[in-house]
Amino acid sequence: MLPQKQAEEAIVSNFSETENQSKDEEKEDQHSMFSVKSLLWHGGSVWDAWFSCASNQVAQVLLTLPYSFSQLGVLSGILLQVFYGLVGSWTAYLISVLYIEYRSRKEKENVNFKNHVIQWFEVLDGLLGPYWKAVGLAFNCTFLLFGSVIQLIACASNIYYINDHLDKRTWTYIFGACCATTVFIPSFHNYRIWSFLGLGMTTYTAWYLTIAAVVHGQVEGVTHTGPKKLVLYFTGATNILYTFGGHAVTVEIMHAMWKPQKFKYIYLLATVYVFTLTLPSATAVYWAFGDELLNHSNAFSLLPKSGFRDAAVILMLIHQFITFGFACTPLYFVWEKVIGMHDTKSICLRALARLPVVIPIWFLAIIFPFFGPINSAVGALLVSFTVYIIPSLAHMLTYRKASARQNAAEKPPSFLRSWTTMYAINTFIVVWVLVVGFGFGGWASMTNFVKQVDTFGLFAKCYQCKPPLPPPTSNTTAAAHHH
């Protein structure tokens, strides 16, 4: 047993040391990757980061994008996806630049990050001071909290389409308990196999939605009236803003890389792949069902029951479990740092310390089970700042002095060449997202959200449960009314 344990410890310490190695020693990295444990468990390559970004970006949003298209119309839906995808990739790039800047400054002061995971709020603190740390922490934690809540609601919403013997609220209780097991996954190094599987699952689901909608054909008397109301238009637009806002974990994904400097364009490449999933599936489902989607925020609810649909539902459930872990892990880190448990080696002790994080998430999912509307509300009020506004402002303030620009760890990308262009792009993003995303989007999504609460009430037992397909018999109608 002892030699094996020593070997494992050697591998772990090897990975910690390689974080600061130069490119010449990259080959040594490769040798330590050959054991089975490191193959499945210790991910830190460029590919791991790409899989993490791509699988983390699209989960349950796949199922709500057709709903957004019904609010926006196809043209706006496609244009906004491409626009927010590119803007999201840009701000992910800014976050990566700020991370490298923070880390290089700290390493000059001989700070060691061996048992410490750097997080976004610490980058803000190190570069801009305690007020920025507080703002970053507040927005990031609230966003991740609600991101985790959305995964739980989505789990219950999806499983209901396979088994409607239990109502959605009961399913939320069950999945809350299942998702609580993510407390045992130590860090983002350990998501290698999950990210890979997760992306395979969303790819299957996206193409199932596309093909099933085309095979199903247009429903009788289909209408495509969107966009017809400003409230709906901006609610849909904010859901798309949310789609490409998976940055709350960008710093943690970067920190899990052996060579974080290579992160720069990974997010963009992940987004390009995500377009191949979101654009065809949302367009096809909207083409087939049109305005019916306005009352069905989960695309599964309109497609006929089949083995393929059940497979897609089950794969999405597993993926949502993975995404729950993704969203919760940074919260676990923050909580561990607050209570002084972040350096603890024991996985079981850390898991126990993390449990208080899961309880409020579970509770909120039961209070607000509104699947589509909560995505838009989170997008407008939290993602707009966390993902778009704060990184752009932070980048401008970090490099506002000539000396900071001169000594920057990362210079502007070759295709831009000047700091002025970077400032112009950042200013545009801040103004656009503040006005369109937070302003109009916040107004629209909160109006929509309040309407859902008025219609269904808090603690709704079964939100949007009356099955539209197949045509209900008298028994199922009674059951739906009972729910």
**Residue 107 belongs to domain with CATH number:** 1.20.1740
**Do 250 and 119 contact (CB within 8 A), yes or no?**
no
Q: Is residue 309 part of a domain?
A: yes
227, 147, 212: which is closest to 179 by C-alpha? 147
pLDDT less than 50: residues of the chain:
1-34, 36, 41, 468-469, 471-483
3-class secondary structure, 174: helix
Q: Is residue 29 part of a domain?
A: no
Q: Is residue 61 part of a domain?
A: no
**Do 235 and 376 contact (CB within 8 A), yes or no?**
yes
CA–CA gap between residue 373 and residue 68 (Å, rounded): 10
Q: What is the pLDDT of residue 195?
A: 77
Q: Is residue 320 part of a domain?
A: yes
Domain count, the chain: 1
Q: Is residue 204 part of a domain?
A: yes
**Do 32 and 240 contact (CB within 8 A), yes or no?**
no
CB-based contacts of 177: which residues, under 8 Å, 6+ apart? none
Q: What is the pLDDT of residue 389?
A: 92
Q: Is the CA virtual torsion 386, 387, 392, 397 positive or negative?
A: positive
Q: What is the pLDDT of residue 204?
A: 92
Q: Is residue 88 part of a domain?
A: yes
Q: Is residue 367 part of a domain?
A: yes
Q: In angstroms, how far is the first alpha carbon of the chain from the final one? A: 56
Domain of residue 182, residue span: 72-456
Q: Is residue 8 part of a domain?
A: no
3-class secondary structure, 483: coil
62, 456, 431, 72: which is closest to 231 by C-alpha? 72
